[in-house]
């Protein structure tokens, strides 16, 4: 079966049209889907009224799934493979821990030594307007650097921290910050990462990176800021305007993303994500 693909932006992404993920899928159709995933970095499936089991089952075709042990409070109580990204209050009325998830440019689980291969985010509830997500193509970001800059960053490692910024914003307190830091020590990742499947070089950075290994924050900041600004220029970006029952899949090894928070926080935005584990990368750095 030849997939019907529709480009989503000049930089990255395709919609996979006319496919019902509730129906059985042959290996060869999934092979085409996976090729498109590697080629375009993002796949969008619209109108997918799938169950959580179907979400998990489809995700497993991309690889082994994370059980989100590093984010115990954000995972679905009955499905450890599903991470909640929601502003729906907890059953006891307290605010959801995940209401600010993804509000800065990042790539999933880069703060672990087995960062995510891909993520599959399903949209359940949307505010009246907004709630969009941006994605950036990190191959393009790398390819468009000067040869001098490529040489300069070739051997650098960025220190990736888990969602402590999010936690600060959420005012969750010192105990929660300490818990997350214990579960997620700082991890050094190559700034230029070779994609394990395509062999292409991509920038691997984002706003969770505050310094390079072996350098101070003050020394690192100008270059990190420049690279992040360069990587997220509008021409490298796709903006996802969600519809209910969208399922969006992204390749974390060659893209960055950011949830914009461009909506009325009193309205419900409820998303659920599975995370496909990638190959080992990086090392634990000194705190």
Binding status of residue 85 toward ligand AKG by CB under 6 A? yes
Binding status of residue 133 toward ligand AKG by CB under 6 A? yes
Binding status of residue 101 toward ligand AKG by CB under 6 A? yes
Yes or no: say if 257 and 107 are a contact pair by the CB < 8 Å rule: yes
Nearer to ligand AKG, 216 or 241 (CB): 241
Measured CA to CA, the distance from residue 158 to residue 186 in angstroms comes to: 10
Tokens coding 116: 């995510």
Nearer to ligand AKG, 259 or 285 (CB): 259
Binding status of residue 116 toward ligand AKG by CB under 6 A? no
Binding status of residue 137 toward ligand AKG by CB under 6 A? no
* Size of interface with ligand AKG, in residues (CB under 6 A): 10
The residues facing 190 across adjacent strands are 157
Who contacts 129 (Cβ-Cβ below 8 Å, separation ≥6)?
263, 264
Residues 14-73 close enough to bind ligand AKG by CB under 6 A: none
Measured CA to CA, the distance from residue 160 to residue 133 in angstroms comes to: 21
- State phi, psi for 110 to the nearest 5 degrees: -65, -15
Binding status of residue 259 toward ligand AKG by CB under 6 A? yes
State the residue for tokens 């092979």. Answer: 31
Nearer to ligand AKG, 36 or 85 (CB): 85
Nearer to ligand AKG, 123 or 140 (CB): 123
Pick the binder of ligand AKG from 102, 118, 163, 282 (CB under 6 A): 102
Measured CA to CA, the distance from residue 203 to residue 145 in angstroms comes to: 10
Pairing of strands 187-190, 283-284: antiparallel
- DSSP helix/strand/coil, 230: helix
Nearer to ligand AKG, 133 or 255 (CB): 133
Binding region for ligand AKG (CB under 6 A) out of 28-36, 50-58, 87-95, 101-109: 101-109
Nearer to ligand AKG, 220 or 255 (CB): 255
Measured CA to CA, the distance from residue 277 to residue 60 in angstroms comes to: 10
Pairing of strands 201-203, 157-160: unpaired
Binding status of residue 273 toward ligand AKG by CB under 6 A? yes
Please give the residue ranges that form the binding site for ligand AKG (CB under 6 A).
Answer: 85, 101-102, 108, 121, 133, 257, 259, 271, 273
């Amino acid at each position: 079966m030849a997939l019907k693909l529709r480009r989503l932006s000049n930089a990255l992404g395709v919609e996979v049209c006319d496919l019902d993920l509730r129906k059985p899928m042959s290996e060869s159709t999934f092979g085409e889907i996976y090729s498109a995933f590697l080629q375009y970095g993002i796949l969008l499936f619209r109108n997918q009224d799938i169950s959580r089991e179907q979400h998990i089952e489809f995700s497993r075709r991309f690889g082994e799934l994370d059980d989100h042990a590093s984010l115990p409070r954000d995972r679905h109580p009955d499905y450890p493979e599903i991470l909640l990204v929601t502003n729906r209050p907890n059953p006891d009325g307290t605010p959801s821990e995940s209401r600010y998830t993804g509000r800065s440019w990042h790539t999933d689980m880069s703060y672990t030594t087995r960062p995510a291969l891909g993520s599959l985010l399903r949209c359940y509830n949307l505010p009246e307007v907004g709630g969009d997500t941006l994605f950036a193509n990190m191959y393009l970001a790398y390819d468009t650097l000067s040869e001098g800059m490529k040489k300069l960053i070739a051997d650098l490692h960025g220190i990736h921290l888990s969602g402590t910024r999010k936690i600060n914003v959420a005012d969750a307190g010192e105990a929660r910050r300490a818990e997350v830091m214990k579960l997620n020590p700082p991890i050094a990742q190559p700034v230029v990462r070779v994609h394990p499947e395509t062999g292409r070089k991509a920038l691997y950075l984002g706003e969770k990176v505050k310094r390079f290994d072996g350098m101070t924050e003050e020394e690192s900041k100008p270059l990190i800021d420049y690279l992040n600004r360069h990587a997220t220029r509008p021409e490298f970006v796709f903006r996802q305007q969600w519809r209910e029952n969208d399922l969006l899949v992204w390749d974390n090894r060659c893209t960055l993303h950011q949830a914009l928070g461009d909506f009325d926080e009193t309205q419900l935005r409820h998303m659920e994500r599975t995370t496909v584990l990638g190959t080992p990368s990086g090392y634990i750095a000194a705190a």
